Amino acid sequence: MKAGSRRALVVEDDAASRDALSALLAVDGFEVRTAATLAAARAAVDEDDALDVVFLDLGLPDGDGMSLVGRFASLPSRCAVVMLTGERRVERVVEAMRAGASDFLTKPLKPALLAATLARVAERLADRDEARRLRSELIGRGVFQGLIGRSPQMRRLYEQIERVAPSALPVSVHGESGSGKELVARAIHDLSRRRRGPFVALNCGAIPRQLAESELFGHVRGAFTGAQRDHAGAFERASQGTLFLDEIAELPLDLQVVLLRVLEAGVVRRVGGPREVAVDVRIIAASHQDLAAAVAAGRFREDLYFRLHVLPLEVPALRDRPSDLPLLVEHFLAEAAAAAGTEAAPTLSEAARAAVLGHRWPGNVRELKNAIARGCVLRSGDRVEPEDLGMPSVAPDGGGAAGGPREDGVVVPFGATLADAERLIVTAQLDRHGWRRGETAEALGVSAKTLYNKCRAWDLQPPDEG
């Protein structure tokens, strides 16, 4: 296995084993660093965490190597972690695997087993690199973990998601209804080291008040009228994974107190239950409301706010990223085709496309998705028309959905083709940015080369060069 510039860290206190393993890795093309203690291993990763594989001894002079498994497994590089142990207890191996280890070797090391392990590491790293390549390609096409868009706002959001995902700290997601807050939460979970655990979503605003405590923390049989069997709450169901609490601001104040206690103690007590149950959950809370304003108004506890508002993320409204509309429309049309079992996706008429481009979309991506789904079902011909989408009426004089001013100030006239609408938007952005193509390309969410090609195709020139 020629690993090129692969980087390895060997954490082993036995000098002979450490040197032998390091030599084999070097022959295999790895750049190898070594550490003989937990402290040295921590220092090594603090200095440089760009690792591809870590060989970690469980029995070290200053502590149990198990304490570092989680940290190594959650590094941004998503390195492989191979445990080295002289123990043969199955429970220790299981514990290491649950903590994030990808493989293990028993000591003394046997050449054949080591070779097989290195082959598995090579396969894992190849899979990781392929996943990175595909992710980069998808982001270039505007797709990231189920989120759609390649505007600057969405690219920043993707970067923030990748930064917060490896952490165990709570995340607070703010965004308007329908903007995709749950998709953001799922993306964080899927990119975290908890991705093998459950993802449980609970809408705090949709639970009747009398059932909220039971839904969150569970109940035992007979705890109240109708409680005919034991019920595990959202916290227990999400243990070892992620709990997404949507519309957290809707939670009653008395339950906010209980929630804060659970977050601080890491235990829940079912309604009517005699004992506490330990839970290991990462919290992602979301709201369309401004939680700081809710605190000021006395509707949300300040201590709970500070407990949850550790890693804040903002999901942009659809009207603030108009360049993503064509991509979203294409995606939802393809979804409609898949749902109908047809190979060819429906298409929008030019009038429908102009209506979509001109609409403000107060319900955000959810409203757009529902409109496209409705249009694909109700269309009478080959193409979806504005009335199929349930769009506001279109006035020939330029008013209504397709003729009103967009959020960015561009007026898309009635009957404009998609190409005409695109040219109007690009020209307006060029004017806004003083024809500085780099800034304009960033604002539109396209590459400078793409913008250059469009300007050349449309013969667009600065006013003083026309």
pLDDT tens across 133-162, in order?
766 666 666 678 889 998 999 999 998 998
pLDDT at residue 246 greater than cutoff 90:
yes
**312 and 175 housed in the same domain:** yes
Q: CB neighbours of 65 closer than 8 A, spacing ≥ 6?
A: 11, 38, 56, 57, 58, 59, 83, 84
Tell me the helix, strand and coil percentages in the chain, rounded to 5: 50, 15, 35
Q: Per the domain annotation, does 151 fall within a domain?
A: no
Asked if the structure places residue 407 within a domain, the reply is yes
Is residue 192, in this structure, part of any structural domain at all?
yes
Q: What is the pLDDT of residue 189?
A: 93
Q: Which amino acid, residue 429?
A: Q
Contact, 190 vs 282, CB < 8 A? no
Shared domain check, 409 and 304: no
* pLDDT score of 139: 65
CATH of the domain at 86: 3.40.50.2300
Write down which residue in 316, 348, 376 finishes a domain. Answer: 316
Q: In this structure, what token pair is assigned to residue 393?
A: 């009426």
How many alpha carbons lie under 13 Å from residue 212 in its C-beta half-sphere? 20
CB 388 within 8 Å of CB 352 = yes
Residue 131 CB partners (closer than 8 Å, separation 6+): none
Q: Single out the residue of 111, 110, 1, 131 nearest to residue 53, CA to CA.
A: 1
Query: What is the model's pLDDT at position 170?
Result: 94
What is the C-alpha to C-alpha distance for residues 104 and 97, in angstroms, rounded to an integer? Answer: 9
Count of domains forming the chain: 3
Q: CATH code at 184? A: 3.40.50.300
Mean pLDDT score, 79-107: 80
Q: Please report whether residue 312 resides in a domain.
A: yes
Same domain, residue pair 441 and 325: yes
How far apart are the C-alpha atoms of 317 and 153, rounded to whole Å?
10
If asked whether residues 423 and 296 sit together in one domain, one would say no
Whether residues 123 and 202 fall in one domain: no
Domain with 372, as residue range(s), is 319-465
Q: Kindly state whether residues 454 and 349 are assigned to the same domain.
A: yes
Are residues 331 and 395 part of one domain? yes
Q: Is residue 143 part of a domain?
A: no
Judgement on whether residues 309 and 343 belong to the same structural domain of the protein: no
- Contact of 234 with 176, CB cutoff 8 Å: no
For residue 156, the model assigns a pLDDT of 92
Query: Does residue 324 fall inside a structural domain?
Result: yes
Structure token digits, residue 245? 């609490």
Rounded CA separation 365/379 (Å): 21
| DSSP helix/strand/coil, 418 | helix
State yes or no: pLDDT of 404 exceeds 80. Answer: no
**Residue after which a domain boundary falls, among 292, 316, 340:** 316
Across the range 85-92, mean pLDDT stands at: 73
Phi, psi of 418 (to 5 degrees): -60, -40
- Looking at residue 110, its pLDDT comes to 83
Residue 397 clears pLDDT 50, i.e. is over it: no
Decide which of 243 and 190 is more confident. Answer: 243
Domain assignment of residue 150, yes or no: no
The residue out of 268, 296, 316 marking a domain boundary is 316
Residue 29 sits in the same domain as residue 130:
yes
The pLDDT score that the predictor gives to residue 6 is 86
**Residue 439 reports pLDDT greater than 90:** no
pLDDT classification of 400: cutoffs 50, 70, 90: very low
pLDDT band at 91 (very low <50, low <70, confident <90, very high): confident
In this structure, are 19 and 119 located in the same domain? yes
C-alpha angle 386/388/390, rounded to 5°? 75
Q: How confident is the model at residue 410 (pLDDT cuts 50, 70, 90)?
A: low
- Tell me if residue 311 falls in helix, strand or coil: strand
Task: For residues 4-27, give the mean pLDDT.
Answer: 88
- Whether the pTM exceeds 0.75: the reply is no
- Tens-place pLDDT, residues 331-374: 999 888 888 777 678 899 988 988 898 898 999 999 999 999 98
Residues 297 and 435 placed together within one structural domain of the fold: no
241-255, 300-314, 409-423: range with lowest mean pLDDT: 409-423
pLDDT given for residue 418 in this prediction: 58
| Same structural domain, 191 and 87 | no
Packing angle, helices 209-217 and 253-265, rounded to 10: 10
Residue that has been written with the tokens 């990231």 in this structure:
144
- Is 386 part of a structural domain of the chain? yes
